[in-house]
């Protein structure tokens, strides 16, 4: 042994739940550097073991060790239980520390089995998250063998000057080892100490799996931030760290990790520990000779967590994309040269370009596409038994799409445009992605599948749906292929696999139905046809059974709406007739013929199935004469688009086949021309940048209602004109369409009218009187309904005037208490010359504002407020009375609310519980599987 | 085989889809005709009356008179000439049967102030009478609002001025085209096309700059957007007259065309493009001269038919035409060129004549040169009726007379219920021989504002007011 010349080192072995004390002590026993003694700290059984002839002492805490050490000890070597230092580990470390005058030195940590590098010192980000900077499979080839300053060293093997440690107040016992090591290093740096890593000092260690609770590590890290940084740095690091933690917890849900509880517990722990943290902070920062900039010098930019998260998401995505290779450094070069990668990248760019205006402006307000409710909680509450605000209101349940919109708004923190963008752009991406997954069922290559997906989400049929402004069906396009794929995909053995699949199917069908109820009925018949023509394929029949179960389960998830809905009425509302471009019709036919004639033999039935879907969908789009309506048209367009997508994939995939006959090659060439035409047609939606949806109409037409502050939230607008120009559903009177909406622009909750009730009938009677010319005071007749403005949509004057618009304009042109408003939109607009007008008007003639799904204003004792909503017992506060088909309630509380229907509210809660359970089954099942 | 079967089914389904035809466009609304043309009658329901010529300033005053069989709430709205200024509203209740007169000057005095008068029930009718020291004029107000109006009786001959007032009391802006017809047939004026009249406003268009020196003028006023109520205002040095537009009819009754000293004419304009034969029957207090005058008029030329040389005043006329025409009466002070119909220019003849006011003067008639005042005009009634609501006005220095014309073959027993502001009087019954027109002199100074006329056979009713200020002829309003 080499006698100690300068430093007198005491070795402290820190307990690790993974164990391994024997190996560690054996390694310590053969160290070439003489140690004063070895002390084991924590829950370690050492028995009669000795090191260098001295018995190993045990102590309960680190503080006990420090206080009991002989005064001659100048350095402490902290070694994690299980670590195996090489014989010269401590001597090299002490030598490098003395040479560099470092206060703390750490060893190079190498994996004990494969010589992989575990750590050569640590860098952290500003949030004290450690970062090794190494690839997971990186081997130790001496590439980092240089003594250098680092932000911290791991606690596996580190030497610290005793006087420094005492001056720092010791190691924080409340923290986990790695975080405690980082904390000690940061505090030491504040005192001016150097922290180095010595590559000559090598320690074998199995891995840095601390076994600590994750939340405790997070909590320790946050405590470390709180202790070392100055106030200015804390001002931004703490909130940013909180947001990063939230994002990590949220995104991790999609990666199969549930971190929300860890996130919450770590912060709560720090709140509880705040007094001791403050005390430690005072100790850490008193007498400091360095500041935050000195800490930043050894930190990397950005967030380690976010970087890791992005990589995890990318990896997860890559696993979902077609192709068997996983994303890795080595494979990236190959991947980017693959057609699938190129087409996929183009598809993403295409989606981003096609939906760019929704990102900036939100969803356009046109037809049935209306802005999402401004407050997600209100929308969700409305869906769960609340008031239906469409028209003059009704207790009829809102469509599930409103509930989904509410959830989207909640998740995006009620962002004005983000929820709409995520739904539409996400639907497009989901549709493309889903098609690739669906077509993988039949081993269609990635590139053809992506092309099929592109035409499916943006082609003529998708544009037809968007043209109908059926936003729900447009979004549902992104879910339909997944519903089919989940039914068709092979099923692994085991109960958990079956449970996960079943739960997933029900969830996806539920989401599909929530976006578009009629879409719920598509998968089962489509798979039924497929099964019939794949008579001997058990997988096809199982898919049909899954689809039927999914339809049933998904239907239950549409509670409470489904119990009062009539799908047949929805299917028959309006008149289905899609005016298809003859050129694109021929192109679709040519592609189908080519797929049938020249497609790969094994794809023959698939091509036939796709052709039949396209044909059946096409017939559905023109089934008005059979009694079907516009929602049927939209859903049929989705079916036709799906069929066209399948045949496009077959044609494109067959192009890759070699050695085919000339006739088949010719057929494929002709089919390819058709495919190109359809692709060209699909690309046109980039121009509008609204995912194919028409341009905004109502924001422009109704924006004037916001001219006077507060007026819009107090009043309604009567919109008249051609039915296709009115927002959402409309009612008719003597052949003329009209619609009452909230100012300034109705939201999605107002798209679908409930059944007409008393106040609706009263409005109709008043309109009949106005139309008949029995009154010239239309403004006064409409004011009780809260109607302050009348907007005639469409061109109502001149040679090109629309008949309906002109007729309505003439009705209101001859009124005495209306004033014309100059409108830049070309719509004739009138404002009533009646005061006061309000949808909630007190007996003191003060109008209250609509705030979300209630009304509020200044409380008026012993007065009442007349709420121009259809009379319903749910309105309050009491006493409530029905006056003129509307509600009269007390004005004494300054607020009018609607008490939700208890049964529907319960059903809503049960659905949420069901969804949570299904998600839980999927999450747990996937892990167990 | 399976593929073939799929292809076959798909083909059949696809073909069925292809052969579906686009549905016919949905029929438009069953309403929306802008033309709210109805008979200008008093109805037993709420109604709105439009009086374009109301004015109250430093020279002119206007009385708006209301007659009603029922107790009604009356809301009077007087527009302000300053745009975007709130109109003046005047509300009151009237016990029926009764009448009321509102001196507009007591409500607001700011010059021209076209009015709408809303009554909550009926039968009720409204008339407006303008007065100044120099003229009396007025007519019944309009209750129907067609898109095409006819106005006859204008002139821009030397010393005569014609204006058209376009009153738009409604919400929407109106786009109006005035088409002029003169002795030169269709008289195209580009500036009179596409005139904008903003909602709740009016425009008064002096026609002299556009149609100077036209002896006879008639107009159609057509709206392509919105609605207006036009009135024709004719004036000369002797007075002013005004009357509303009408819709065409094949028959017109004028119970009185001149009460005395003024020379009457019938101004007609064909509503079609073909020649129209117009026959005028003169109905005097003693009998009827059938087909006293018959003329053939071109489709696009107005015609002024002189009546002063047929019978001695007072008398009424019935106009019959082979196809619809617009017609109105103009009564003016005689001028020298009598042969040409009196409307030609010539030496003035008034220096030796007397006026109705002469009866009240104490000076020597033969020695006083009197400047005769008087220019009157009136629209007719397209059909006789058994019931009439005649709001009227009385002035202390003038004589108000109700004229009842019976063009039937039976004696008409006519009951006249005088409508007072604050008391009831028993009805008066008079008998009107067939083919005659009979006067009923209204007492002045007791607050009579109208007459409710009931007859056992259809009659036509109008009223006149004659005094120092001039003469006004006012049509009655049939109760529908």
Say what the pLDDT of residue A135 is.
72
* CA distance, residue A607 to nearest chain B CA (Å): 8
A839–B contact, CB cutoff 8 A = no
pTM beyond 0.80: the answer is: no
Q: What are phi and psi of A884, to 5 degrees?
A: 55, 40
Kindly determine whether residue B6 and residue A608, on different chains, have CB atoms separated by under 8 Å: yes
B334–A contact, CB cutoff 8 A = no
A533–B contact, CB cutoff 8 A = yes
Between residues A427 and A926, the one the model is more confident about = A427
Say what the pLDDT of residue A107 is.
92
Say what the pLDDT of residue A598 is.
82
Kindly determine whether residue A818 and residue B9, on different chains, have CB atoms separated by under 8 Å: no
pLDDT in tens, A775-812: 888 999 999 999 999 999 998 887 788 899 989 988 98
The dihedral region occupied by B247, where left means phi > 0, alpha psi between -120 and 50, and beta the remainder, is beta
Nearest to B171 among A575, A607, A813 (CB): A813
Give the chain B residue nearest A779 (alpha carbons): B171
* CA distance, residue A633 to nearest chain B CA (Å): 12
A730, two tokens: 């409309």
The dihedral region occupied by B415, where left means phi > 0, alpha psi between -120 and 50, and beta the remainder, is beta
Nearest to A816 among B14, B30, B169 (CB): B169
CB atoms within 10 A of CB B305: 21
* CA distance, residue B70 to nearest chain A CA (Å): 18
**3-state class (DSSP) for residue A119:** strand
B445–A contact, CB cutoff 8 A = no
pLDDT in tens, A529-560: 999 988 888 999 999 999 999 999 999 999 99
| A625: chain B residues, CB-CB within 8 Å | 20, 23
| A618: chain B residues, CB-CB within 8 Å | 13-14, 17-18
Kindly determine whether residue A818 and residue B171, on different chains, have CB atoms separated by under 8 Å: yes
Nearest to A813 among B2, B20, B34 (CB): B34
* CA distance, residue A577 to nearest chain B CA (Å): 7
- Are B13 and A612 spatial neighbours (Cβ–Cβ below 8 Å)? yes
Say what the pLDDT of residue B358 is.
41
* CA distance, residue B220 to nearest chain A CA (Å): 20
Say what the pLDDT of residue B360 is.
40
* CA distance, residue A920 to nearest chain B CA (Å): 41
pLDDT in tens, A465-516: 999 999 999 999 999 999 999 999 988 878 888 999 999 999 999 999 999 9
| A532: chain B residues, CB-CB within 8 Å | none
User: What residues of chain B score a pLDDT lower than 50?
Assistant: 337-365
pLDDT in tens, B127-163: 999 999 888 998 999 988 888 999 999 999 988 999 9
Q: What are phi and psi of A892, to 5 degrees?
A: -75, -20
Strand partners, B251: B320
| A797: chain B residues, CB-CB within 8 Å | 175, 224-225
| A813: chain B residues, CB-CB within 8 Å | 34, 170-172, 225-227
- Give the orientation angle of helix A177-190 with respect to helix A214-228, to 10 degrees: 10
What ipTM describes this predicted complex? 0.79
Kindly determine whether residue B10 and residue A615, on different chains, have CB atoms separated by under 8 Å: yes
* CA distance, residue B83 to nearest chain A CA (Å): 12
A804–B contact, CB cutoff 8 A = yes
Q: What are phi and psi of A403, to 5 degrees?
A: -65, -45
Give the chain A residue nearest B116 (alpha carbons): A816
Give the chain A residue nearest B229 (alpha carbons): A814
Nearest to A615 among B13, B27, B224 (CB): B13
Of the listed ranges A150-164, A344-358, A771-785, B358-372, the one predicted with least confidence = B358-372
A36, two tokens: 């004063």
Nearest to A808 among B18, B32, B199 (CB): B32
A816, two tokens: 């005495």
Kindly determine whether residue A734 and residue B29, on different chains, have CB atoms separated by under 8 Å: yes
Nearest to B7 among A608, A777, A807 (CB): A608
* Arithmetic mean of pLDDT over chain A: 88
Say what the pLDDT of residue B363 is.
44
Strand partners, A37: A10
B23, two tokens: 């549905």
Q: Is the pLDDT of residue A657 over 90?
A: no
- Are B455 and B413 spatial neighbours (Cβ–Cβ below 8 Å)? yes
Nearest to B226 among A772, A777, A813 (CB): A813
| A814: chain B residues, CB-CB within 8 Å | 34, 36, 145, 170-172, 227
Kindly determine whether residue A807 and residue B28, on different chains, have CB atoms separated by under 8 Å: yes
pLDDT band of residue A254 (cuts 50, 70, 90) is confident
Say what the pLDDT of residue A338 is.
59
pLDDT band of residue A324 (cuts 50, 70, 90) is very low
Report d(CA A876, CA A858) in Å as an integer: 16
B31–A contact, CB cutoff 8 A = yes
* Percent of chain A scoring above 90 in pLDDT: 53
- Are B447 and B389 spatial neighbours (Cβ–Cβ below 8 Å)? no
Contact residues for A638 (Cβ-Cβ < 8 A; gap 6+): A461, A462, A465, A473, A476, A477, A480, A516, A519, A522, A617
A586–B contact, CB cutoff 8 A = no
Say what the pLDDT of residue A910 is.
95
Say what the pLDDT of residue A171 is.
86
- Are A245 and A225 spatial neighbours (Cβ–Cβ below 8 Å)? no
A771–B contact, CB cutoff 8 A = yes
Report d(CA B428, CA B414) in Å as an integer: 8
Q: What are phi and psi of A112, to 5 degrees?
A: -75, -15
Kindly determine whether residue B2 and residue A605, on different chains, have CB atoms separated by under 8 Å: yes
* CA distance, residue A773 to nearest chain B CA (Å): 8
Report d(CA A823, CA A843) in Å as an integer: 34
| A808: chain B residues, CB-CB within 8 Å | 29, 32
| B23: chain A residues, CB-CB within 8 Å | 575, 577, 624-625
Give the chain A residue nearest B34 (alpha carbons): A810
A70–B contact, CB cutoff 8 A = no
- Which of residues 70 through 129 in chain B touch A, CB cutoff 8 A? 77, 116, 118
Give the chain A residue nearest B11 (alpha carbons): A615
Give the chain A residue nearest B20 (alpha carbons): A622
Give the chain A residue nearest B50 (alpha carbons): A816
Q: 């080519």: which residue's tokens?
A: A594
pLDDT in tens, B240-267: 999 999 889 999 999 999 887 889 999 9
Kindly determine whether residue B171 and residue A771, on different chains, have CB atoms separated by under 8 Å: no
Q: What are phi and psi of A344, to 5 degrees?
A: -65, -45
Report d(CA A104, CA A146) in Å as an integer: 16
Report d(CA B265, CA A327) in Å as an integer: 102
Report d(CA B479, CA A396) in Å as an integer: 50
Contact residues for B358 (Cβ-Cβ < 8 A; gap 6+): B365, B370
A268–B contact, CB cutoff 8 A = no
Nearest to B172 among A615, A623, A828 (CB): A828
B39–A contact, CB cutoff 8 A = no
CB atoms within 10 A of CB B182: 21
- Which of residues 699 through 738 in chain A touch B, CB cutoff 8 A? 723, 734-736
Give the chain B residue nearest A807 (alpha carbons): B32
A803–B contact, CB cutoff 8 A = yes
Kindly determine whether residue A808 and residue B30, on different chains, have CB atoms separated by under 8 Å: no
**Cα–Cα distances in angstroms (integers) from residue A346 to residues A342, A350, A356, in the given order:** 6, 6, 15
- Which residue spans within B104-147 are E strands per DSSP? 111-112, 115-119, 124-131, 136-140
């Amino acid at each position: 042994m080499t006698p100690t010349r300068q430093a007198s080192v005491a070795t402290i072995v820190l307990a690790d739940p993974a164990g391994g004390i024997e190996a560690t002590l054996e390694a310590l026993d053969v160290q070439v550097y003489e140690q004063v003694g070895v002390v084991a700290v924590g829950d370690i059984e050492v028995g009669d073991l000795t090191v260098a002839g001295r018995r190993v002492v045990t102590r309960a805490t680190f503080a006990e060790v420090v206080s009991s050490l002989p005064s001659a000890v100048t350095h402490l070597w902290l070694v994690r239980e299980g670590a195996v230092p090489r014989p010269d580990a401590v001597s090299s470390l002490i030598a490098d520390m003395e040479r560099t005058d470092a206060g703390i030195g750490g060893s190079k940590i190498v994996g004990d089995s494969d010589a992989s590098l575990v750590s050569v010192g640590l860098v952290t980000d500003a949030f004290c998250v450690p970062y090794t900077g190494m690839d997971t499979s990186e081997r130790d080839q001496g590439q980092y063998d240089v003594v250098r300053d680092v932000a911290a060293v791991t606690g596996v093997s580190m030497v610290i000057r005793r006087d420094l440690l005492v001056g720092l107040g010791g190691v924080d016992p409340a923290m986990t080892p790695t975080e405690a090591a980082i904390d000690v290093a940061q505090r030491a740096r504040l005192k001016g100490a150097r922290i180095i890593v010595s590559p000559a000092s090598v320690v074998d260690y199995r891995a840095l799996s601390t076994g600590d609770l994750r939340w405790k590590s997070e909590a320790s890290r946050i405590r470390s931030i709180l202790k070392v940084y100055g106030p200015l740095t804390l001002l931004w690091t703490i909130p940013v760290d909180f947001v990063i933690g939230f994002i990590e917890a949220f995104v991790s849900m999609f990666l199969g990790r549930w971190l929300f509880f860890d996130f919450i517990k770590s912060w709560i722990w720090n709140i509880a520990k705040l007094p001791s943290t403050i005390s430690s902070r005072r100790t850490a920062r008193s007498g400091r000779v360095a500041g935050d900039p000195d800490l930043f010098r050894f930190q990397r930019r950005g967030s380690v967590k976010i970087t890791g998260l992005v990589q995890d998401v990318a990896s997860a995505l890559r696993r979902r994309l077609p192709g068997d290779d996983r994303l890795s450094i080595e494979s990236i070069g190959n991947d980017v040269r693959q057609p699938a990668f190129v087409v996929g990248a183009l598809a993403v760019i295409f989606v981003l370009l096609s939906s760019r205006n929704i990102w900036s402006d939100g969803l356009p307000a046109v037809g049935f596409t209306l802005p999402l409710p401004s407050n997600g909680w209100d929308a969700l509450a409305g869906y769960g038994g609340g008031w239906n605000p469409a028209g003059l209101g009704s207790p009829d349940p809102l469509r599930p799409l409103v509930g989904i919109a509410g959830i989207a708004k909640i998740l995006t923190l009620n962002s004005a445009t983000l929820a709409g963008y995520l739904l539409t752009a996400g639907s497009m991406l989901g549709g493309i992605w889903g098609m690739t997954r669906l077509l993988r069922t039949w081993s269609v290559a990635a590139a053809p599948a992506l092309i099929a997906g592109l035409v499916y989400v943006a082609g003529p049929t998708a544009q037809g749906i968007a043209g109908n402004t059926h936003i729900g069906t447009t979004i549902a396009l992104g879910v339909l292929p997944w519903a089919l794929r989940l039914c068709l995909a092979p099923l692994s053995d085991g109960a958990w696999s079956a449970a996960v699949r079943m739960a997933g199917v029900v969830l996806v069908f539920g989401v599909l139905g929530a976006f578009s109820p009629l879409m719920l009925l598509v998968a089962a018949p489509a798979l039924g046809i497929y099964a019939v023509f794949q008579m001997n394929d058990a997988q096809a029949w199982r898919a049909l059974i899954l689809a039927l179960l999914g339809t049933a389960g998904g239907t239950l998830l549409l509670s409470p709406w489904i119990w009062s809905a009539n799908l047949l009425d929805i299917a028959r509302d309006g008149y289905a007739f899609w005016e298809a471009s003859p050129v694109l019709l021929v192109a679709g036919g040519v592609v189908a013929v080519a797929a049938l004639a020249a497609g790969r033999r094994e794809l023959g039935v698939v091509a036939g199935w796709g052709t039949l879907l396209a044909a059946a969908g096409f017939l559905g789009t023109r089934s008005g004469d059979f009694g079907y309506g516009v929602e049927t048209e939209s859903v049929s367009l989705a079916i036709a688009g799906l069929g066209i997508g399948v045949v496009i994939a077959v044609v494109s995939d067959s192009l890759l086949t070699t050695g085919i006959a000339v006739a088949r090659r010719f057929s494929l060439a002709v089919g390819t021309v058709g495919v190109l035409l359809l692709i060209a047609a699909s690309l046109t939606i980039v121009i509008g940048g609204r995912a194919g949806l028409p341009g905004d109409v109502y924001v422009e037409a109704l924006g004037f209602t916001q001219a006077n502050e507060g007026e819009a939230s107090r009043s309604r607008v009567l919109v008249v004109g051609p039915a296709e120009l009115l927002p959402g559903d409309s009612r008719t009177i003597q052949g003329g369409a009209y619609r009452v909406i909230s100012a300034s622009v109705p939201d999605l909750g107002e798209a679908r009218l409930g059944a007409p009730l008393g106040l609706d009938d009263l409005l109709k009677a008043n309109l009949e009187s106005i139309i008949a010319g029995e009154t010239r005071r239309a403004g006064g007749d409409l004011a009780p309904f809260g109607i302050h403005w009348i907007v005639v949509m469409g061109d109502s004057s001149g040679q090109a005037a629309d008949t309906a618009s002109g007729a309505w304009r003439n009705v209101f042109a001859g009124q005495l208490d209306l004033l014309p408003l100059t409108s830049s939109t070309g719509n004739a607009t009138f404002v009533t010359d009646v005061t006061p007008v309000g949808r909630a008007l007190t007996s003191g003639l003060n109008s209250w504002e609509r705030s979300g799904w209630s009304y509020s204003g200044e409380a008026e004792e012993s007065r009442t407020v007349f709420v121009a909503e259809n009379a319903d017992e749910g309105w309050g506060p009491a006493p409530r009375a029905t006056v003129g088909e509307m509600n009269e309630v007390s004005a004494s509380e300054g607020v009018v609310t609607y008490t939700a229907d208890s049964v529907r509210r319960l059903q809503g809660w049960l659905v949420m519980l069901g969804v949570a359970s299904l998600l839980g089954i999927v999450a747990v099942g996937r892990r167990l599987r | 085989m399976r593929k073939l079967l799929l292809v076959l089914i798909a083909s059949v389904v696809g073909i069925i889809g292809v052969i579906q035809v686009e549905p016919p466009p949905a029929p438009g609304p069953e309403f929306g005709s802008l033309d709210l043309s109805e008979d200008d009658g008093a109805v037993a329901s709420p109604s709105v009356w439009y009086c374009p010529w109301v004015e109250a300033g430093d020279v002119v005053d206007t009385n708006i008179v209301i007659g009603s069989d029922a107790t009604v709430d009356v809301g009077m709205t007087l527009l302000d000439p300053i745009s975007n200024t709130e109109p003046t509203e005047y509300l009151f209740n009237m016990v029926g049967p009764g009448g009321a007169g509102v001196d507009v000057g007591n409500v607001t005095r700011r010059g021209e102030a076209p009015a709408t008068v809303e009554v909550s029930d009926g039968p009720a009718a409204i008339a407006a009478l303008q007065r100044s020291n120099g003229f009396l004029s007025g007519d019944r107000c309009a209750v129907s609002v067609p898109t095409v109006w006819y106005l006859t009786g204008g002139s821009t001959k030397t010393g005569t001025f014609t204006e058209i007032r376009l009153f738009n009391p409604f919400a929407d802006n109106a786009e109006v085209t005035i088409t002029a017809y003169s002795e030169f047939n269709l008289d195209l004026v580009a500036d009179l096309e596409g005139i904008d009249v903003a909602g709740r406003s009016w425009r008064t268009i002096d026609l002299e700059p556009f149609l100077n020196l036209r002896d006879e003028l008639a107009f159609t006023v057509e709206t392509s957007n919105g609605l207006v109520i036009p009135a024709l205002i004719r004036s000369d040095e002797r007075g002013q007259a005004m009357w509303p537009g009408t819709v065409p009819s094949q028959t017109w009754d004028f119970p009185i065309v001149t009460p005395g000293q003024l020379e009457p004419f019938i101004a007609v304009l064909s509503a079609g493009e073909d020649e129209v034969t117009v026959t005028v029957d003169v109905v005097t207090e003693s009998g009827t001269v059938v087909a006293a005058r018959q003329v053939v008029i071109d489709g696009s030329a107005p015609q002024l038919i002189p009546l002063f040389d047929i019978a001695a005043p007072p008398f009424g006329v019935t106009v019959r035409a082979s196809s619809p025409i617009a017609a109105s009466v103009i009564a003016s002070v005689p001028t020298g060129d009598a042969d040409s119909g009196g409307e030609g220019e010539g030496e003035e003849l008034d220096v030796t004549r007397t006026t109705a006011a002469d009866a009240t003067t104490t000076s020597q008639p033969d020695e006083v040169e009197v400047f005769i005042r008087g220019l009157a005009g009136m629209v007719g009634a397209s059909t006789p009726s058994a019931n009439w609501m005649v709001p009227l006005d009385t002035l202390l220095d003038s004589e108000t007379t109700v004229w009842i014309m019976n063009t039937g073959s039976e004696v008409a027993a006519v009951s006249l219920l005088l409508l007072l502001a604050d008391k009831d009087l028993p009805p008066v019954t008079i008998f009107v021989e067939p083919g005659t027109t009979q006067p009923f002199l209204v007492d002045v100074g007791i607050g009579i504002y109208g007459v409710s006329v009931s007859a056992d056979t259809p009659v036509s009713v109008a009223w006149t007011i004659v005094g120092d200020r001039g003469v006004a002829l006012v049509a009655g309003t049939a109760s529908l």
